């Protein structure tokens, strides 16, 4: 590591239009050699090698550019939420009960008992709507013990969650989400362009409204009409390609998910006219799911019935259900995976590159 003094001059040949003519150089600290991976050369390294020596990897301008994008995107999201009257909140990450069942929960010792790392802030968001806050959002870590070794799954991830009360229909939720995403993309693109970050060119300026495509139509495209099986990775990619051909847009909603798929999501509201369907949706970006949400069940009797049909004991959710005993307005919201959005905007082949120090089933260090 060195400190350099000198004179800055304009230069047509320099990448940033300026160059430094040194007049003094001081060696601050000598680095060990050889380095485990190159910093300035164009020779690539395996992802595991890069992550094992992440501090060196982060010195590369191209890697640092990803986290400039991430920082700008989060600032854009916060601004979009606040301008729409949302209040930023913080909910617990140590819980007595998970929101989405026990199969993907991380258990931890909690004094003389057992607790779990939060999969999402879902139940607390709804409780805050019952508290009269009406519009809330949170950007925070979440944890899922899924033994997935894919390029789009990690065990610790950043979740951006929004919830809003007194909705007239699920369309209010979709309108809010697409507006927030659109505004965040536009401000991020502008900010990165001002910094000279080349990733600005990759960020689209979405056109609203995003297409709304019923789940039933999607499975028709896949050649499985009437199917109520959940969509897999290849299914999502095929739907994204179809949307690109038919609509020419990167962002779109898949709506009206079957209850059979969302049965474990007990807070998902079933459609009154067709209980086989929910008011739940996904927001996809070119074949990758980046957000999921919908209208929640706000009626206590139906919510209890949903909990029981999902195989859970309502008594274990007493703190959550108390919020519904004293009046809960119609409400809805979503959870958005920040890391996935960074991955698609930056064009990263692996979601682990979208986090400074990623965690998966094998990696707990550095």
Q: Is 5 a catalytic residue?
A: no
Q: Could you give the angle at which helices 61-83 and 170-195 cross, rounded to 10 degrees?
A: 140
Which secondary-structure segment (H or E) carries 226? none
Nearest-10 crossing angle of helices 122-130, 318-325: 30
Catalytic residue among 146, 171, 242, 302: 146
Q: Quickly list DSSP for 157-219.
A: EEEEEEEEES-SSHHHHHHHHHHHHHHHHHHHHHHHHHHT-GGGGG-----SSPPEEEHHHHH
Task: Single out the catalytic residue among 156, 163, 236, 289.
Answer: 289
Out of 298, 340, 352, 355, pick the active-site residue. Answer: 340
**Residue 152 is a catalytic residue:** yes
With 0-12 / 13-18 / 19 or more C-beta atoms within 10 angstroms meaning exposed / middle / buried, residue 283 is: buried
Spatial CB neighbours of 244, under 8 Å, sequence gap ≥ 6: 250, 286
Our separate counts of H helices and E strands in the chain read: 11, 13
Distances in Å between the alpha carbon of 30 and those of 20, 26, 38, 52?
22, 11, 16, 21
Please tell me which residue in 144, 174, 270, 355 is annotated as part of the active site.
144
C-beta separation of 87 from 136 below 8 A: yes
Check if 50 is active-site. no
Q: Go through the chain and tell me how many residues it has.
A: 366
Separation between Cα atoms, residue 161 and residue 165, nearest integer Å: 14
CB 295 within 8 A of CB 126: no
- CB within 8 Å of 271: residues ≥ 6 apart: 256, 277, 278, 279
- Measured from the Cβ of residue 58, the count of other Cβ atoms closer than 10 Å reads 15
The continuous run of DSSP H or E covering 78 comes out as helix 61-83
Active-site entry in 292, 331, 352, 355: 292
Which residue in 70, 153, 174, 298 is the catalytic one? 153
Query: From CA 59, how far away is CA 114, in angstroms rounded?
Result: 40
- The answer to whether 289 is a known catalytic residue is yes
Active site residue 53: no
Exactly one of 53, 54, 84, 152 is catalytic; name it.
Answer: 152
Q: Which residues are catalytic?
A: 144, 146, 152-153, 289, 292, 340
């Amino acid at each position: 590591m060195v400190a350099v003094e000198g004179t800055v001059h304009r230069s047509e040949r320099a990448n940033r239009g300026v160059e430094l003519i040194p007049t003094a150089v001081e060696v601050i600290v000598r680095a060990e050699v050889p380095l485990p991976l190159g910093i300035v050369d164009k020779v690539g390294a395996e992802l595991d090698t890069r992550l094992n020596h992440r501090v060196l990897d982060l010195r590369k301008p191209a890697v640092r550019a990803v986290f400039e994008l991430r920082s700008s995107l989060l600032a854009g999201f916060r601004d979009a939420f606040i301008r729409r009257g949302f209040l930023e909140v913080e909910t617990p990450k140590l819980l007595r009960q998970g929101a989405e069942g026990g199969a993907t929960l991380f258990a931890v010792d909690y004094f003389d008992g057992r607790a779990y790392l939060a999969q999402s802030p879902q139940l607390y968001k709804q409780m805050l709507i019952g508290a009269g806050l009406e519009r809330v959002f949170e950007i925070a870590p979440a944890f899922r013990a899924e033994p997935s070794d894919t390029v789009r799954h990690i065990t610790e991830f950043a979740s951006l969650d929004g919830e809003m009360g007194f909705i007239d229909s699920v369309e209010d939720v979709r309108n809010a989400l697409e507006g927030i995403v659109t505004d965040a993309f536009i401000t991020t693109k502008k900010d990165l362009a001002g910094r000279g970050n080349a990733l600005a060119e990759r960020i689209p300026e979405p056109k609203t409204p995003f297409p709304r495509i019923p789940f039933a139509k999607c499975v028709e495209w896949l050649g499985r009409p009437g199917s109520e099986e959940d969509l897999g990775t290849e299914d999502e990619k095929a739907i994204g390609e179809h949307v690109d051909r038919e609509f020419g847009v990167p962002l779109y909603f898949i709506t009206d998910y079957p209850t059979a798929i969302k049965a474990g999501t007990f807070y998902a509201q079933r459609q009154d006219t067709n209980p086989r369907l929910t008011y739940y949706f996904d927001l996809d970006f070119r074949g990758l799911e980046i957000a999921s949400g919908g209208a929640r069940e706000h009626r206590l009797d139906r919510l209890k019935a949903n909990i029981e049909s999902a195989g859970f004991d309502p008594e274990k959710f007493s703190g959550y259900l108390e919020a519904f005993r004293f009046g809960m307005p119609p409400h809805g919201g979503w959870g958005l995976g920040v890391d996935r959005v960074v991955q698609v905007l930056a064009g990263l082949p692996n979601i682990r590159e979208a986090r400074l120090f990623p965690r998966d089933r094998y990696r707990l260090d550095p």
